[in-house]
């Protein structure tokens, strides 16, 4: 009578494991390649990414990771936006340049960023002191107008308020689905040159 459980040597286990991992990796790589090819086709780009230079491939992948949506159409990472609080982002000052910037509270990668090339800065939002649209000033004003009894970062706006009102928002957070499609809908309503995702900002 055959035994229900087989016995394998250490070498047999390692051999089977390596074959399984190789097979899984191959399938994952194939799926990723097909998804990237589909993305390039939708963007009217050359789908033969295997022939791209390292620089071009890096640039394409940078946009691909941000533009990719999940199968249900929701933007990547949108499931976390409804959990953001007033403390998710903070304003810091670069010790060398004295430039203020907004960054995620626990994001250690920003420690080595410099502000001499804004296009190369990632994970931070630097100030523009001479601009009436300074993003840091706008962020600080936004935080100051949130409802004091609600700790969520994204709150529903009041039906009406004055410029000098202490609070512009309700004691109620914006829903998860509304947040997930916010930039997409805003881009279309404002007839922007392209449809942006939440990760565009």
pLDDT in tens, 119-153: 344 478 899 988 888 999 999 999 999 999 999 99
Task: Looking at the structure, tell me whether residues 61 and 101 fall in a common domain.
Answer: no
Confirm whether 61 is domain-assigned: yes
Q: Does the global pTM surpass 0.85?
A: no
Residues 60 and 17 in one domain: yes
- Same domain for 21 and 63, yes or no, is yes
Considering the domain architecture, whether residues 63 and 28 belong to the same structural domain is answered as: yes
Answer whether residue 5 is part of any domain: no
**Helical H runs in 43-156?**
54-67, 135-145
pLDDT tens readout for residues 161-171: 998 999 999 99
Q: Which domain range does residue 48 map to?
A: 11-68
Q: Give the containing element (helix H, strand E) for 155.
A: strand 155-157
Q: What is the pLDDT of residue 15?
A: 66
Radius of gyration of the chain (CA): 24
Report yes or no on 4 lying in a domain: no
Q: How many helices (H) and strands (E) does the chain have?
A: 5, 5
């Amino acid at each position: 009578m055959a035994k229900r459980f087989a016995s394998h040597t250490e070498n047999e286990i390692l051999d089977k494991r390596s074959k399984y991992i190789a097979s899984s990796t191959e399938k994952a790589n194939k799926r990723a390649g097909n998804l990237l090819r589909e993305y390039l086709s939708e963007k009217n780009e050359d789908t033969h990414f295997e022939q791209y230079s390292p620089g071009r491939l890096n640039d394409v992948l940078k946009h691909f990771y941000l533009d990719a949506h999940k199968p249900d159409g929701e933007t990547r990472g949108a499931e976390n936006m409804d959990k953001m609080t007033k403390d998710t982002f903070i304003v810091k000052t670069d010790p060398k340049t004295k430039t203020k910037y907004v960054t995620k509270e626990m994001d250690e990668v920003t420690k080595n960023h410099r502000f001499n090339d804004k296009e190369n800065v990632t994970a931070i939002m630097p100030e523009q002191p001479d601009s009436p649209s300074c993003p840091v000033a706008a962020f600080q004003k936004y935080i100051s107008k949130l409802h004091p009894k609600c700790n969520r970062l994204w709150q529903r706006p009041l039906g009406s308020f004055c410029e000098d009102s202490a609070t512009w928002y309700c004691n109620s957070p914006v829903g998860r689905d509304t947040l997930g499609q916010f930039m997409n809908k805003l881009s279309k309503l404002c007839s922007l040159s392209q449809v942006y995702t939440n990760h565009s900002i």
